[in-house]
Structure formats: C-alpha cells, structure tokens
Amino acid sequence: MVAKMDLTKFPIRGFNTAPTPPKEDDLSHPEPVGPNGNKRLADEHIANGHTHAAITRYKKAVHMSNNDPLHRTELGDAYAFAELSSKAVEQYKRAIKKDPKSAEPYFGMAEICVRYGRWQLAMAHFEKAVGLSPKNAFYKYKYANAAVQAGSISVAIEQLEAAVELLPDDPFYHFELASLYADAHRNQDAVREMESAVRLSPADDYYAARLGMLYVRVGNLEQAADMYRAALDISPAKHAYHHLLADTYYSLGFESRAEHQYKEGAHLDDYESDFLNRARKYSLGGAW
C-alpha cells in the first residue's frame, strides 16, 4: 500500500526521525510560563529535529500540568523520535493510566509495535485507538497497514472502507482502498475506487497509470489506453508509460502505434525498468 502522501497534515507519530545529540536549549527564548509554554517550545524543538531538547521541555510540561495525559503522550512521542522505545512505552502506559479514554497513547504504543514488527499487538493497540477516536481516518489507515502485515486483509479493507466514508473527497484513501481490493482480487471494486482517486486528483500521473493497469485486468483496454495517455500528458518524461501504452495498443491490434510508443520509451533507467516489470505483472492480476 504505497502512495504519495502529504504527512504534514497528520499527527507526528511516524517515528522516522533519527535521534539527535543532546542540544543546549535555545537561550534566546525567555523561560516559558506554565506547561503550555513548555509544550510550545518543545513542539518547536521537535519540528527542528532537536528531540533531546524537546524531551526536556515536555518533561517540564508534564511536571507543571500535574501529569496531564496529553503532555505525557507528547513526551512519549519525543522519546519515540529519539528511538528510546522503552521510555516511550513507559510514558504511554502512564498516560493511559491517567486517562484510559485517550486514543493518542494507544496509537503511540501501536507505532512502537510496528517498529519491531509485532503486528498482532500493533493491531490490538490500533483497534483500541480507533475505538476511542472513531472519526480519525488516519488511525484507520495505520490500523489497515498493520492488518495487511498480519495477514488480515478483511480487517484492513473494513478499516479503509470506513476511512473513505469519513473522508470521501480525499483521493489518498480511495487509492489505498483500491489497492487493497486489487490485492483481494475484487477487481471491479478496485476500479471503482481508483476511478474516484483519479477524479479527485486528476493531475496525479501515478493514479492514472494504476487505473490503466486495473482496466487491463478487467479487459477494458480502450479505457486503459486513455489512462496511459493521460499519465503521459501529465509526465511525458516517464518512459515506462510509453511501454504500457504500447502493450495496450498491441492488444488492441494497433501495431504501428505500439511500435511508435516503444521507440518513444526506448531509454528506460533501472528504476523505470523495475516499475514496468511490476506494472505488467500487476495488470495480469499479480501483487504490486
């Protein structure tokens, strides 16, 4: 389930930032007043990748807020950013003890489990987070990812269907659901969702190309050719699209058009060659 995505609109719980060395706090700032002032400065440190300085500030926020579970969860997130997983888990557990109805620490626990490939336990924590925050589409998406890794594709589909229902105008969730339907060989459902993704994001060449591949799967070759031409209109430098269009032209009996497209896409680099091989297998019903 891979697609382009703007992660800036989601909560900081990806844990992909490498640990940073201890950094002296920014003395140009006046000493913040109260827990919210420390939280604000900690958030700035996180945004700048200064995780150890952020930890110091979040600790102060927790202490000054009488162990507010939100501040404690944010402290757990900072530990997770610094790859101090055991300390992160400790903070999440303390936040849950303080407020068992808070979804965020369960989500943080789930992400730690994902880091170590403990998919079943991750699913359990994601399920709890989704139950406590049922209108959070991103939580459902992350739960679906863990379910796929655990081999529970029906659970994954259920979560992404719910995410699409929550955010019907977001092409990303339609794309992800289409990808899952395709993996489950529910090809007509996959086409429907990918059509929605393309409609909502018409300038995305990758979405258009993936819809073309799904059209090939279900035998709609003329529509597949339309999608490959659309993808080339958006990104004419992507030579693999010429080959996919040429394949489709051959299947339609347009040999001269096919030969022209093969010539247009003659210069494939290693990345595009790999993409083309995967695309051809996917068009025939294989996994991406």
pLDDT for 33 = 62
Q: How far apart are CA 147 and CA 197, in angstroms?
A: 22
Query: Is it the case that residue 10 has pLDDT exceeding 70?
Result: no
Query: Is it the case that residue 3 has pLDDT exceeding 80?
Result: no
Angle at 42 between CA 36 and CA 44, to 5 degrees: 110
Compute the average pLDDT of residues 178-201: 98
Q: 55-101: per-residue pLDDT in tens?
A: 999 899 888 888 789 989 999 999 999 999 999 999 999 999 999 99
Q: DSSP 3-state assignment of 191? A: helix
Q: Which domains does the chain have, with CATH numbers?
A: 35-100 (1.25.40.10), 204-288 (1.25.40.10)
* DSSP secondary structure of 148-173: HHTT-HHHHHHHHHHHHHH-TT-HHH
Tokens of 218: 């279900």
pTM: 0.84
Q: How far apart are CA 207 and CA 199, in angstroms?
A: 10
pLDDT for 42 = 85
Which phi-psi region, left, alpha or beta, contains residue 208 (left: φ > 0; alpha: ψ -120 to 50)? alpha
C-alpha dist (Å) from residue 190 to 15, 106, 128, 175: 31, 31, 28, 9
Q: How far apart are CA 94 and CA 224, in angstroms?
A: 53
Q: 205-263: per-residue pLDDT in tens?
A: 999 999 999 999 999 999 999 999 999 999 999 999 999 999 999 999 999 999 999 99
Burial of 20 (0-12, 13-18, 19+ CB in 10 A): middle
Query: Is it the case that residue 21 has pLDDT exceeding 70?
Result: no
**Number of CB atoms found within 10 A of residue 15's CB:** 18
